[in-house]
Structure 1
């Protein structure tokens, strides 16, 4: 039993304290929570659960009992009849296992948890984000699309209830689609302030629904004045010491290297140790042994796509045999064993650990899981995160790039660690020299790997034919339509040799909708952004002047980036590339790359434009056309810039079903550090981002709608011939190309340096976006649009909430400031922004809300 509370270290230094809620029957908060620190401008302290099985290894029986007991309390609250009609929804990643356990306590409730991992072919049924977007935000991917459509109680499960923002946003989203009269919120601890409690009451009254809350314990966190600044300074101090390897200060080096909260791997690998059991000799490496679980065929690995009571029954029946295989692999007297789950995969490894614990096959069994959350580690008994191991994400597709962490494993004296991953996580990255298994090996006598097959949902039924508007010719959908590319001047204002569009022409179809209506429909989950088009923004004279001055100022800079990315492609990828730009932001870049190759090398490169849609993937018929006409090994996908890297990951996921294509995009600018082939990693103004179709060949963004696009069709787009008088597409390309000769020498020198440099993506932009999402209470990375290009798109096409600008940013933001002023959007200057600017879309847009100037704004 611990003699020192694992929050003492933080409490002593920051004055943070936990105030009990006054229920004498509830567990004390200090038995449920410890404290740690993280780098976060809004809240430096972190409540660390001691019974969740995430950051702190715990008895699997204790972890399971906490969740199961909460489920029993919910069942008593609802009554048997209502409980039988309930659905349980857990939050990724932290509460996926907890939600499962609550559903077990309810006995007959089906379970679904949100996920950050995209699954090709599975249509999201909503979520807490822009509808149908890519991975890493919360997606709801039930195999049964009607799972959330019933009118029975919805039970929402999270590990803690601190402000209530996430839960309230979820209820608002789901209630708009499937209204019901009763919601139950379940958490291990309820730490809301009185104001937050009042807000929930008012929210329920406005919704016209009952909202109950069930928790093991209630209380509040007391924060003295100045705690945020003191916490930030403390994190900075210990990160600096850890990076310097300050061996004179054991608390600073933190056993496993303290580790920077920002995710520096170099300082977080050793394990100084705590706990009484002996571990392996320093520097020893354990071999990895694979355990064949014999997982029942067709049994889901968890609740990502739904977990029915029948699935629970199958798992219960299989658990003795599953645990028996793990015990046999461990052999007699395995000592202290840790069963280590993997991010969202918490329930299956928890049940394995509990069955192993019940069997008595090991002297002691503990359970925890890896996580994507970076936390400062300090090797002190009064601190909740004593050591950490750092390793790269290894699931495919990853539920967000970057580093992952295993806390309180190094130095804890485990004789064996059983790492449990699903099939998508059993990748080369898992087994790499810096992967999870290699990181575990020096800190335990044995490492065993058990793989649970990733569940693949049944294909969705083909929808019935939908009537087609009279303006669209009805085509025979039975035969593949492998038409030739559309080319200018019949489609687009580019010369026919500049680009061929693998698209359908929807110019005569009415697809535009007012921006506010589109935003409302998209965020409510009732529409996908690719099913309609925003009304084309026509710039004011002042804005056109800004565009022209921006082009004049940056043309040489763009020309240099074009040359750099093109020469890198020719040197590394293929000497005869086929450029395939992602319509439409990538198309001007593809045209410029083609012109560079022709001007500098006499190459006449083919160039096509194809459609890719976040959440729905690339146009597969366009891929088939490309494979039929070119060697897939020569295909080079081109885009304008990276923000978070959403399309980078979308393309990689989409190409898994096609052989021979290189999935990595090449881009003009890579401020998010998401790709290895780029022209620059600076976040600067690319003037083609300032406008819409009038700088992209007069072509709209692409459209994918079931009544217009059949199974054998290309996606579609419109050609705005009527805007020819405002078109600057060819002028943009000509202006940049005119600087090719003057930048050629600089390009040669830069490419030489790049070819010798380490250009591996760091995905640092993604980490910044996640931080901003939490700091500003958005809780959805898809509503955070980083970089000059993405911010411009927000102002042109969406309903923005506010713009964050890097303090002191200059002319690159003139057009952003002008657009923001015209739309009544505040621009907030901030320090430490890795991008020049970031556009924020409020997660709960309500049409009709207006600002003082009468313009529509976002509101809750």
Structure 2
């Protein structure tokens, strides 16, 4: 039965990654089947409650030459740190799971599409590196999670059916406020019962412990993270062109199938997805220092919750979804949403060069607040748009 189930999963693609890197459990639809909604109109629909953000898409455009240049600079600047973080995460997973798994029941990495994909693929490369000290039998899947609507339960059940005796670790790129952690926890409540058939697959670290792994965890909610810093993660500066050419996911009712996504075939010529993975993998193999065991946490600490509350009060923001903290999330919000202002900890930090460039390009106000917003280096505040201007 398991062989048939794993074979059934093989029909799904891997975006622009290699099939050995990841299997993305999404229903890929053509761009023409998706309404291309302008950002200003989308904001009105979202904030007025007429439409959920996961019901519509603003089709992605190619980054500008300046954006591409700043991504390349970020990659050169952050490649060694990313590689070291991946090695430390892989080493820690090996230390935790080495005695519990084998080739027949591998560790299952489940990346949360999209920000989790580059991290999950890099981690899968590290775990399958036979020359490393942390080689571990593992398989890697990408599935959708959507705020307010949860994890794609159809995709998750497909994985559980294919690997009934394997532990699952969920992978994301970073945490902002901890909203995706909370969404994940809500989606997994059904399994958080020791009598559930799949309890051990998900709650292998104990009851109520959500096995979420991230590269950076400023919000303090991850079970395992390489650091709690808000830093310039290179893969956070681009959208689909560093995430397998896959769009942000669109919601589908469970009875109708998998969550949907668009594959941006028009951006193939400027895709960095595989180049990013290869670059980080090469850097990882040349690291001069041995990997380190990272700490794990059974419960979230929510170390920035009070700060988010203070910002919401000061800027009179009722909906916390309009607050987008971390360099990566602040940058993506400028590219995909309608920002009102950007908050920075420093006026000239090297990690916010792209952010400041985009603000100048779009005439977006910047407020430098210093240590008041730490540990975040940047936060985007989305404009309140109940009616279109």
The answer to whether the superposition gives a TM-score over 0.5 is yes
Partner of 2:174: 641
Alignment partner of 1:778 is 2:325: no
Partner of 2:28: 505
Structure 1 residues 516, 636: closer, same or farther in 2, change over 3 A?
same
In structure 2, which of residues 378, 381, 384 is the aligned counterpart of residue 837 of structure 1? 378
Structure 1 residues 643, 809: closer, same or farther in 2, change over 3 A?
farther
Equivalent positions of 1:295-694 (< 5 A) are: 484-485=9-10, 487-488=12-13, 492-508=15-31, 509-572=33-96, 575=101, 576-599=106-129, 600=132, 601-631=134-164, 633-658=166-191, 659-660=198-199, 661-662=202-203, 663-694=210-241
Q: Counterpart of 2:352 in 1: which secondary structure? A: helix
In structure 1, which of residues 778, 802, 823 is the aligned counterpart of residue 362 of structure 2? 823
Structure 1 residues 602, 569: closer, same or farther in 2, change over 3 A?
closer
Q: Quick check: 2:110–2:142 contact (8 Å CA) kept in 1?
A: yes
Q: Counterpart of 1:838 in 2: which secondary structure? A: strand
Q: TM-score, normalised by structure 1?
A: 0.40
Comparing 533-542 with 666-675, greater Cα deviation is found at 533-542
Q: TM-score, normalised by structure 2?
A: 0.86
**What are the Cα deviations for residues 705-747 of structure 1, in whole angstroms up to 9, with x where unaligned?**
4xxx560511111111121011011111111111113336252
Q: Quick check: 2:36–2:56 contact (8 Å CA) kept in 1?
A: yes
Q: Quick check: 2:12–2:25 contact (8 Å CA) kept in 1?
A: no
Q: Quick check: 2:34–2:57 contact (8 Å CA) kept in 1?
A: no
TM-fit CA distance, 1:483:
5.3
Q: Counterpart of 1:738 in 2: which secondary structure? A: helix
Structure 1 residues 494, 758: closer, same or farther in 2, change over 3 A?
closer
Q: Distance in 2 between matches of 1:800 and 1:746?
A: 42
Q: Distance in 2 between matches of 1:559 and 1:771?
A: 35
Structure 1 residues 828, 771: closer, same or farther in 2, change over 3 A?
same
Q: Distance in 1 between matches of 2:270 and 2:386?
A: 32
| 5+ long unaligned stretches in structure 1 | 1-481, 849-860
Partner of 1:86: none
Q: Quick check: 1:485–1:503 contact (8 Å CA) kept in 2?
A: no
Bigger relative CO (Cα 8 Å, ≥ 6 apart):
2
Partner of 2:285: 741
Higher helix residue share:
2
Q: Quick check: 1:537–1:796 contact (8 Å CA) kept in 2?
A: no
Q: Quick check: 2:94–2:135 contact (8 Å CA) kept in 1?
A: no
Q: Quick check: 1:570–1:577 contact (8 Å CA) kept in 2?
A: no
Q: Quick check: 1:641–1:670 contact (8 Å CA) kept in 2?
A: yes
Q: Distance in 2 between matches of 1:483 and 1:765?
A: 42
TM-fit CA distance, 1:845:
4.8
Structure 1 residues 542, 807: closer, same or farther in 2, change over 3 A?
same
Aligned residues: 357
Comparing 820-829 with 693-702, greater Cα deviation is found at 820-829
Q: Which of the pair has more CA radius of gyration? A: 1
TM-fit CA distance, 1:846:
3.8
Alignment RMSD: 2.1
Alignment partner of 1:804 is 2:343: yes
Q: Distance in 2 between matches of 1:604 and 1:811?
A: 38
Q: Distance in 2 between matches of 1:512 and 1:807?
A: 36
| 5+ long unaligned stretches in structure 2 | 1-6, 192-197, 204-209
In structure 2, which of residues 249, 253, 265 is the aligned counterpart of residue 702 of structure 1? 249
TM-fit CA distance, 1:827:
1.4
Q: Distance in 2 between matches of 1:540 and 1:793?
A: 14
Q: Distance in 2 between matches of 1:527 and 1:486?
A: 32
Structure 1 residues 745, 546: closer, same or farther in 2, change over 3 A?
same
Q: Quick check: 1:494–1:729 contact (8 Å CA) kept in 2?
A: yes
Q: Distance in 2 between matches of 1:844 and 1:536?
A: 21
Q: Distance in 1 between matches of 2:12 and 2:272?
A: 18
Q: Counterpart of 2:291 in 1: which secondary structure? A: helix
TM-fit CA distance, 1:807:
2.2
Q: Distance in 2 between matches of 1:607 and 1:692?
A: 20
**What are the Cα deviations for residues 290-327 of structure 1, in whole angstroms up to 9, with x where unaligned?**
xxxxxxxxxxxxxxxxxxxxxxxxxxxxxxxxxxxxxx
Q: Distance in 2 between matches of 1:673 and 1:486?
A: 37
Q: Quick check: 2:326–2:377 contact (8 Å CA) kept in 1?
A: yes
Q: Distance in 1 between matches of 2:377 and 2:348?
A: 7
Q: Quick check: 1:648–1:664 contact (8 Å CA) kept in 2?
A: no
Structure 1 residues 590, 665: closer, same or farther in 2, change over 3 A?
same
Q: Quick check: 1:794–1:800 contact (8 Å CA) kept in 2?
A: yes
Q: Quick check: 1:560–1:746 contact (8 Å CA) kept in 2?
A: no
